[in-house]
Structure 1
Amino acid sequence: MHLFTPNHVQLIQACYPPSAALLTSGPEYKPNAQELSRLTYYASNKVGKLNKLGGELEKRVKADCRRAQAGNIRARASLLITLAIIRALASECRRDISLLSSPLIVSVDSAISAMPSDLEVIARAASVFTTWTTYTDGHLMGVDSTFTQEYIATLQRFSAMSRVESKTRDHEIRNRTRLIGLAALTGAVTSEALYSASSHFKPQASIIIPALLVTIFETKLQLLEHVAAIIKEKPTSPYLEEFRSRPTIERRAASIHVHVDGDKGPSEEDVANACLRVLSSLLGHSNGAQVGYVMQAAFDSLEEIQGWNKLDHCRWFAQKVADWTQYQYRYAVPTRLVERLLEAQDVPSTTPLHIALAAMVTMVFTSPTPLVNLSTSDIISNLITLTLRRVAIDPDDSTLPALVQCIASLGTHVYYADQIQDLAAELISRLTLVEINGVKGGGKGEKERSRSTAIRCLLAGLMGLMRAADDHDFTDDQETQEQSKPGATSAASTSKALPDLLGDKGHTHVRPSRRTRVSPEIWQDTLTLLCDADFAVRADYALALLSYVKSEIPKRSALADLKRLRPLADGPSRQGSSTAAAVHGDSTSRFLNALHAYLYVLATCSTLGFASGFSPSPSPSTNGDTSLGANGDINVDDSPAQSQAAGRRSMNFAPRQRKASVAQRMLGQAPSRVSATASAFASDYAHILAILTIVHEQLPVHGLLTGVPMLLALDAATQVDDADDDILQLRQEAIKEVVAKVWLVIGKTWDSSELIKFASEASQVPSCLPTASEIKPGHLVAPQECVHLSRGDSSSDSSSSKCLDTEAALTAIIACPTVQLATGLDGQTLLRKLACQWTPESAFKDAVEKSSNYDALRGESVLKISPALMAIENLSLQSLGRFTRGVGVTDLREALEGRSSMSNPALVNKAPSISTLDHASTVLHGDSMSTRTTRPRTKKRQSPGGPGEVRDVLNRLGIGKQNANSLLKASFPSLQKSDARSSPFNPPYKA
């Protein structure tokens, strides 16, 4: 029996009105103001009593809850007053709120669980909860396991309230309940309890996110867009935005009130506004790892509510998540989306999850929201791996078009000049592997379908990647022009789509792209697809090649300089270098040589593809970047990490060597005369015509020097004595039509009236070739159907038509003044170059870059060493490392002190070596090999600090006597003494 009442209990009891006045204290149900001030003053000055005060208030809350559940109205009023007292104590004792945390959270949880349908009690409890979340430092999370469990349980109750469904048709009650729960979640996402411990962020995010997604996916997109615009114009209060930077003493806790009866109830817009503000606040305060947890919670929630079926909502959600995430952490959004796709790559059939995730990735990449710190190489490697895996499971998988769009959309984010070229090189590398090794599938027919589909997917993604980069660059230029000229209408902005600048003759000024174009050396690896055995692959690649020549390949030529007024920087010296590159060979010339060789094979050969002359072997590559199965297929069953690591290593020497060997053998077997058994269809000849036309239009100098010899050889291939076979006649007519129309294009390009006259007369026959179709880049469409050679009614008399006189055409183009001026060659030189003996094998040899110690365009000697050679661990190559830096005073000091062997290994010969600096390296020209023997240069190692080493350092510094045989050459040869030029020439060998 207590003889007296403790002081803290008396102070608490004094805050309540008399028992008879409890019912009349509504609707505010507030404690007595004066007594409450005494209580808070007592608590703030005697911090040690906070625990007792909290315990007493917790007992009162539990007792009032039990009586209120039984229908006691006074107990309900007492409960509301008790919650108000707890909130006042928490607000006034904010510095020591940790002492009050446990009873406060238990009281809130007890009140919500006891009165789940009483909105007034729930609102008062939510106000207490937000007060604690405002002032806590979050240090109790994880330290006190009991408190942590109590807090998580309370958070789950508010989350359930935020997505509650009304049992009746009264949507007003549902909206009121959701608003209270969302208000409490707002306090949770703006609290240090969420961010203090990373290990407790994930469980809290998995509770908060489902409540938000239910409201988002139940709301119409138009309303969501409207609310998002309001949030952007009127962001959350500065308190919620800056709560983490504000001192505790300056923070203010939000008060939650229930909607007043009689007023118009809250609308769906109000609920959506509160929901999106919670989501934007959560993302705005999360780092990269935490954004990943948010995305994972969203994935789990969408699986539960079947949100993957709502594709438009999924896209909208992904875009807003990326938009609301902090600038430096936005990369986590697409990265996590792609990772989630990889986790579902082995699902046997396509699910709404695959379609939705792929659409979300595309939406994030194509949105105007900038993404920084994004590893585009990892993203594209994962997407390629996923595409190949889905093709291996089912070549007709419905996810493939969406995955192609994902790869293409990555081109909208260009952060450095060579990014698109690097991504294209990655795609082409994987394309080469698939072309050679195929994709693991079922039977033989299934493997062929999988291989064909995989190649077409990668081709579509490659073209979409480059086109997306161009479209994005053009859009940025439009925005820049519009911003720089306010009120003015840009000429480019009036166009709804990217203008077709490819056929422009130089009259329209186009701003250069900020990215590096995909070089012909990279694209040249794909030219073998022109001769693929599958027509669908050939057709798709022909259209991709047309787009590449139009938009990617460098078009700087002498003809362009002649046809327009050049600025001073593009004067005769620039023209001369361009002409020399076209005449003597550069990357574009090598590319076109290979292209013409494969086009000839396509037009004349009876067997196409690697199937006839090559069987993939399971031999590993030199760097082991791709594992092959038992049948030589690409092993796509590896783990995602292994597949990603394999895909990122783009250099695969063994497959490329095998591919080059097969290609050379195929070119060597190309016939000199066309036969009826050739494999090309009418559609193939149409593609050949389109490709040659665009080459001569876009690359006139290069196309003329590399293409005319092939045209002559192709025309000669039609001179067959026995032409009684109808199929052979049709094939001859198709090739002659191609040759005549290409000559007509050459005449129009170079303004040769005589050539135009000859070619026009030969081209007036009715065409037997179909029209080449077009495919939108970045979209995977159904395989194209081939058109066979046939004779129509209009072409019955084509055999009696006039044939083109190739000798006259050649004479006309050689005599053209524009051609001689553009190439810098006279008529005789042009005749020798254009009328040379041409074969696909010789063109293929010219397509291989030859090593040389002399750069014809720069006029200087250059040492070219293969990267593969430098990767070999060979001590003899260490002599080359001696010249990677200059020799200075430090080297002299070290030589004098005898520390050269320890601190400067570049000055020490570790072993006798063979130097290649003064001798020509081994060069492979076709089948011949030119070698030159070199003598090993040996040097006796001097003792540390010996006079020989010091003398050597002095000589290198130019202080001592110069050694004529020194390997070090002067940086400026023109400054050497004149007597050095008169020194006798010593050949490297003796007769």
Structure 2
Amino acid sequence: MPMHLPFTPNHVQLISACYPPNAALLTAGPDYRPNSQELSRMTYYASNRPGKINKLASELEKRVRLDSRKAKAGNIRARSSLLITLATIKALATECRRDLPLLTASLLASVNLALTTLSNDLEVAARAGSVFTAWTTYTDGHLIGVDQSITQDYMSCLQAFTTLGRFGSQDQEVMNRTRLIGLAALTGVVTSEALYHSTQQLKAQVSIFMVALIAPLLLVEVSALDHEVSEVKTQPNSPYLSDFRNRPTMERRATSIHLHVTGQTGPSHRDVANAAMRALSALFEHSNGSQAGVSIQAAIDSLSEIDAWDKPEHCRWFAVRAAEWTQYQYRYGIPTRLVECLVQDQDAPQTTGRHSTLAAMITAVFTSPIPLVNLSTSDIISSLISVILRRVAKDPDDALLPALVETIASLGTHVYYTDQIQDLAGELISRLIVVETNGVLVNGKSDLGRVRAQAVRCLLAGLHSLIHAAEMHDIAKEDGDDGKTVHRAALAESGVTINVEAEGRTPRPDGHVRPSRRSNVSPEVWQDTLSLLCDADYSVRADYSSTLVSYLEREILKLWDCTDVDGVKRIRAIAEGPTRQASINHSVIFGDSTTRLLNALHAHLYVLATSTNLGVATRSHTPSSQRSVNGDTTTDDAKSQGDDTEENAPSRRSIGIPRSRKMSVMQRLLRNIPSKLSSFANVSATLSDYGNMLAILKAVQMNLPIRGLVTGVPMLLALDSALQGETSTDTASVQRVQAIRDVLAQTWLAIGKVWECPGVVEIAQNVRALSSPWVAMWLIFVQAIPENFSSRLPTLPEPSPGTFHTPQEPSAFAFAAAAADDSVRALDCEGLLLALVSCETVQEATSLDRQSLLRKLTASWSAESAFKDETQPPSASPPSSDGLSPLVKVLPALMPLENLSRASLARSTRGVGITDLREALEGRSSLSNTNLRETAPSLSTLEHASTAHGEMHKLAPVRSRASQQRSRFAGPGEVKDVLNKLGIGKVNTGGMLKPSFTSKKAETR
């Protein structure tokens, strides 16, 4: 033992006794450990006298400072002494863990001195890392951010270990050994209370060391990373460092960091990636929502720092794993922060790899099978739409647009509540209509129409892809995530045969397909997009036609159609019982939301086929329109605030655009239709437009046969009638007439095939004049014709969901003289109608007889009247003179016998009784019943509806106090109305119902 001078303090003597003699320092390796017996004496002294810990720590810090300086100069003994001192500090911290704050300042200062002075000595770094890990294991983190000197030393230690963790060298063995030491120390940090005690301090710490955890992952292939992830799950214990065990502070065991043994197989890149992966998983597992967002932001900054955006596969892998490692209830923070980072860079002049990779990371997280609860999908899709419009405004051909469309589509793969897809589609449609009407504000650009068209096409592609992704989500749920790519319900309702036996599946006994777990996009939400059929840009019209056909085939609710077990759709009777039949009859005859959509659709198709000027001029670009489309929040006037309220309203109400503006758009389109169609030479539709029109009409008739028949046949007759007035012999006019006749013939052919009506099929097949007798003979022999045999129209291409393709070019008319044998004869509409209404299948499905069906189909039709049917608000009962509900009207057929309970159906929700008569006599009924008011009401703002919902409401008329006093005494009209309701007054003989109770006395009167 070394000799001590007289009056040497006891704590100094205890420390000195832990060292071997100076002559033995050179042979203290390779362990470099203090004397165990003397070390135990010192730690026992410190644990029983906490007041002496500060003196012991100060003395050890002095020795570290002195030995570090000498070791840097090449003194081997000083290096040995330094290693022993660091081991002594670790033992003191372990044994005095209850009083660790007394030791913290000297411990962190000692570790910082050793790392900064001997940064290239791996053995010193490993010993300093062990001391640091012991402190991170037992600390509570309260001193970080409070004591300035401690915080500085701690941050300096983090920076030093981060430097070790991202160390680069030509010698891979040295590089990997160095990185493992740094990662071992950083693993102690991510499992320590010092990191999570304060969110502000967590942000500062993570921004320092995150780059060391990300860099090793980029040196390994993604397939190898997947293998290491599975190894981390199956083997939680690392071969290079012992993992943090989640125990109380006093029961924890600090990690010991050891160097790789020289001569053995050196650590590989996969070993380093494994260590980094364990640290990252621990970081996200211990983080809450805000902390996970801070961590992913630090990761994005680190990827920018090391310029890793050119490795999108690794970035996508990291984003998915970060979401997987985060706790279940906080995973939403990962994609949310990624979207925020993408929004922050939306105004960049050029698209960079950062933009594309961020979009790919968001898509990867959404398309992964990881559940993301509490995710605000509405906010995310709004942000993505804003980025799309910004990028389109910068460049219509921006390279980021396809990735953004794919990102929007990926939102449909996670459905958490029934109306989610409908809400997201409503948000998309809302912004779509804003762009359609207002355009996109472009700075320094002249081609405004192209920018607007690209913006509309992007949103349409996102809408179609979103619905398709939700459809795939339903398949995954029903098929157990087996990767099927066919939606069974959609295919069955579309008439596609599904071979269930070939797939090894047993069909349900009733032959029905289980319905989707989500709500389909309703016709009310979709209805305001129909004006895109008549857009001025053909690429918009073509893309919308494809999206509309997909919506009709897969998304819109298909009622009254039955699918057998073999998957083949067959039209059947729409009702099985009288009550259900009465309800459905009401929907067929008087219309529902789908009927209103089809009325508007046929009106727009008529405009497309006959209008001489498609499209409407967009509004002037004002600051309010810039804010509404691109998402800016600054405003200068009250009008812009009102517009912002409209555009941010929920999508269920008017889809963000006042109904009056949509009506004005349609009115302008209707004005472009000539009053008398004497010539079709100036019609704006191209040959491709008529092909798209045919595809839409076929989709309507095949997927919505009953309502499509009721709404579509009158339009077909009106269009055929318009052709009869064509008198021009101009080539352009003749060819357009031939194209429209081709559309009509093919649509009637589809109707005949759907309803299995041979008469309709025969008439529709023979509309083309055939010069070849062999072809005519063959048609007579086979009694059939290919669907496209008589059609010269271009087919509508099927869009690929999740992709944004280049704009489609239209096929124009050749305007050459049409051959006589290639003309399409006029349709025999009278014969078609008679054959259709005589079809028993049609009569059975619609529950109408021949005459009623003929009157229904031959009713007067015009585009204006059909559009008015669209704009009428839905009502519970059809307009009638007597005000009776439809159910009451059909009661005589359902219940022919006298039934006293029948009268209850005619009653309102609140019965009329003696109280109403008393109030009428006293004049109080006018206060609650608006129908009994006789005086003009005054206006009050007490019942003024809020404008937060995005619609401007008029002030509700509310009776003032004075007017209430004036109506205290009622007139005889109110009393008479109440008596009539009670059945005491004159009996209404014009109604269909008799009074509930009749007596001889009443008849005598």
Q: What is the TM-score of this pair, normalised by structure 1?
A: 0.82
SS at match of 1:308: coil
Q: Is the 8 A contact 2:695 2:795 kept in 1?
A: no
Q: What is the correspondence of 1:449-598 to structure 2 with a 5 Å cutoff? A: 449-479=450-480, 500-504=491-495, 509-557=512-560, 571=577, 573-598=579-604
Give the drift of 1:208. Answer: 1.6
For the residues of structure 2 that align with 1:88 and 1:884, how far apart are their CA atoms? Answer: 83
**1:685 alignment partner in structure 2:** 690
Aligned partner (choices 714, 726, 731) of residue 736 of structure 2: 731
Structure 2 residue 772 is matched with structure 1 residue 758: no
Structure 2 residue 654 is matched with structure 1 residue 648: no
For the residues of structure 1 that align with 2:794 and 2:886, how far apart are their CA atoms? Answer: 51
Q: What letter corresponds to residue 110 of structure 2 in structure 1?
A: S
SS at match of 1:627: helix
Give the drift of 1:571. Answer: 4.6
Give the drift of 1:385. Answer: 1.3
For the residues of structure 2 that align with 1:967 and 1:16, how far apart are their CA atoms? Answer: 109
Give the drift of 1:557. Answer: 2.0
User: In 2 relative to 1, CA 782–617 (structure 1 residues): closer, same or farther, beyond 3 Å?
Assistant: closer
**1:628 alignment partner in structure 2:** 625
For the residues of structure 1 that align with 2:532 and 2:304, how far apart are their CA atoms? Answer: 42
User: In 2 relative to 1, CA 476–616 (structure 1 residues): closer, same or farther, beyond 3 Å?
Assistant: same
Give the drift of 1:766. Answer: 4.4
Structure 2 residue 787 is matched with structure 1 residue 784: no
For the residues of structure 2 that align with 1:560 and 1:265, how far apart are their CA atoms? Answer: 66
Give the drift of 1:833. Answer: 1.3
Give the drift of 1:558. Answer: 6.0
Aligned partner (choices 843, 850, 868) of residue 820 of structure 1: 843
Q: Is the 8 A contact 1:820 1:827 kept in 2?
A: yes
For the residues of structure 1 that align with 2:124 and 2:356, how far apart are their CA atoms? Answer: 44
Q: Is the 8 A contact 2:140 2:193 kept in 1?
A: yes
**1:7 alignment partner in structure 2:** 10
User: In 2 relative to 1, CA 733–964 (structure 1 residues): closer, same or farther, beyond 3 Å?
Assistant: closer
Q: What is the correspondence of 1:249-398 to structure 2 with a 5 Å cutoff? A: 249-398=250-399
**1:974 alignment partner in structure 2:** none
For the residues of structure 2 that align with 1:772 and 1:94, how far apart are their CA atoms? Answer: 75
User: In 2 relative to 1, CA 319–980 (structure 1 residues): closer, same or farther, beyond 3 Å?
Assistant: farther
For the residues of structure 2 that align with 1:74 and 1:262, how far apart are their CA atoms? Answer: 25
Q: Is the 8 A contact 1:557 1:579 kept in 2?
A: no
**1:136 alignment partner in structure 2:** 139
Q: Residue by residue, what CA displacement relative to the aligned partner does 1:647-666 show, whole Å, maximum 9, x if unpaired?
A: 53245676542221130242
Q: What letter corresponds to residue 588 of structure 1 in structure 2?
A: T
For the residues of structure 1 that align with 2:999 and 2:692, how far apart are their CA atoms? Answer: 58
Give the drift of 1:511. Answer: 2.0
Q: Residue by residue, what CA displacement relative to the aligned partner does 1:786-825 show, whole Å, maximum 9, x if unpaired?
A: 00123789x7234555443111001100111111111111
Q: Is the 8 A contact 2:491 2:497 kept in 1?
A: no
User: In 2 relative to 1, CA 443–114 (structure 1 residues): closer, same or farther, beyond 3 Å?
Assistant: closer
For the residues of structure 1 that align with 2:415 and 2:721, how far apart are their CA atoms? Answer: 47
**1:56 alignment partner in structure 2:** 59
User: In 2 relative to 1, CA 721–555 (structure 1 residues): closer, same or farther, beyond 3 Å?
Assistant: closer
Aligned partner (choices 913, 929, 932) of residue 915 of structure 1: 929
**2:612 alignment partner in structure 1:** 606
Q: What letter corresponds to residue 120 of structure 1 in structure 2?
A: E
Q: What letter corresponds to residue 185 of structure 1 in structure 2?
A: L
Give the drift of 1:578. Answer: 2.5
Give the drift of 1:577. Answer: 2.4
For the residues of structure 1 that align with 2:291 and 2:136, how far apart are their CA atoms? Answer: 19
Give the drift of 1:504. Answer: 2.2
For the residues of structure 2 that align with 1:738 and 1:941, how far apart are their CA atoms? Answer: 63
SS at match of 1:782: coil
User: In 2 relative to 1, CA 919–566 (structure 1 residues): closer, same or farther, beyond 3 Å?
Assistant: farther
Q: Is the 8 A contact 1:598 1:667 kept in 2?
A: no
Q: Is the 8 A contact 1:693 1:745 kept in 2?
A: yes
**1:805 alignment partner in structure 2:** 828
For the residues of structure 2 that align with 1:983 and 1:733, how far apart are their CA atoms? Answer: 72
Aligned partner (choices 858, 861, 868) of residue 838 of structure 1: 861
Q: What letter corresponds to residue 798 of structure 2 in structure 1?
A: E
Aligned partner (choices 840, 844, 854) of residue 877 of structure 2: 854
Aligned partner (choices 14, 33, 37) of residue 36 of structure 2: 33
For the residues of structure 1 that align with 2:340 and 2:363, how far apart are their CA atoms? Answer: 14
For the residues of structure 2 that align with 1:700 and 1:844, how far apart are their CA atoms? Answer: 21
Give the drift of 1:320. Answer: 1.0
Give the drift of 1:567. Answer: 13
User: In 2 relative to 1, CA 514–495 (structure 1 residues): closer, same or farther, beyond 3 Å?
Assistant: closer
Aligned partner (choices 69, 72, 76) of residue 69 of structure 1: 72
User: In 2 relative to 1, CA 884–37 (structure 1 residues): closer, same or farther, beyond 3 Å?
Assistant: farther
**2:900 alignment partner in structure 1:** none
User: In 2 relative to 1, CA 551–685 (structure 1 residues): closer, same or farther, beyond 3 Å?
Assistant: same
Gaps of 5+ in 2: 499-510, 769-784, 888-907, 912-922, 935-956, 969-976, 984-994
For the residues of structure 1 that align with 2:134 and 2:840, how far apart are their CA atoms? Answer: 88
User: In 2 relative to 1, CA 583–443 (structure 1 residues): closer, same or farther, beyond 3 Å?
Assistant: farther
Q: Is the 8 A contact 1:417 1:516 kept in 2?
A: yes
SS at match of 1:475: helix
User: In 2 relative to 1, CA 968–853 (structure 1 residues): closer, same or farther, beyond 3 Å?
Assistant: farther
Give the drift of 1:564. Answer: 6.3
Q: What letter corresponds to residue 358 of structure 1 in structure 2?
A: A
Q: What letter corresponds to residue 224 of structure 1 in structure 2?
A: L
Shifted more, 229-238 versus 56-65: the winner is 229-238
User: In 2 relative to 1, CA 849–236 (structure 1 residues): closer, same or farther, beyond 3 Å?
Assistant: farther
**1:657 alignment partner in structure 2:** 660
SS at match of 1:110: helix
Shifted more, 852-861 versus 699-708: the winner is 852-861
Structure 2 residue 716 is matched with structure 1 residue 711: yes
Give the drift of 1:645. Answer: 7.9
Q: What letter corresponds to residue 858 of structure 2 in structure 1?
A: A
SS at match of 1:789: coil
User: In 2 relative to 1, CA 569–69 (structure 1 residues): closer, same or farther, beyond 3 Å?
Assistant: farther
For the residues of structure 2 that align with 1:31 and 1:746, how far apart are their CA atoms? Answer: 96
Give the drift of 1:13. Answer: 0.8
Q: What letter corresponds to residue 534 of structure 1 in structure 2?
A: D
For the residues of structure 1 that align with 2:328 and 2:379, how far apart are their CA atoms? Answer: 20
Shifted more, 440-449 versus 596-605: the winner is 440-449
Give the share of equivalent positions with the same residue, in percent. Answer: 52
Q: What is the correspondence of 1:403-414 to structure 2 with a 5 Å cutoff? A: 403-414=404-415
For the residues of structure 2 that align with 1:665 and 1:243, how far apart are their CA atoms? Answer: 72
For the residues of structure 2 that align with 1:527 and 1:317, how far apart are their CA atoms? Answer: 42
For the residues of structure 2 that align with 1:911 and 1:381, how far apart are their CA atoms? Answer: 49
Q: Is the 8 A contact 2:599 2:870 kept in 1?
A: yes
Q: What letter corresponds to residue 743 of structure 1 in structure 2?
A: W
Aligned partner (choices 98, 104, 107) of residue 107 of structure 2: 104
Q: Is the 8 A contact 1:558 1:575 kept in 2?
A: no
Give the drift of 1:424. Answer: 0.8
Gaps of 5+ in 1: 483-491, 620-625, 863-882, 887-908, 921-933, 943-947, 949-962, 970-976, 986-991
Q: Is the 8 A contact 1:57 1:86 kept in 2?
A: yes
For the residues of structure 2 that align with 1:41 and 1:810, how far apart are their CA atoms? Answer: 106
Structure 2 residue 798 is matched with structure 1 residue 774: yes
Q: Residue by residue, what CA displacement relative to the aligned partner does 1:813-867 show, whole Å, maximum 9, x if unpaired?
A: 01111111111111111111111221111111122234657379998599xxxxx
User: In 2 relative to 1, CA 801–292 (structure 1 residues): closer, same or farther, beyond 3 Å?
Assistant: closer
- Corresponding pairs, count: 880
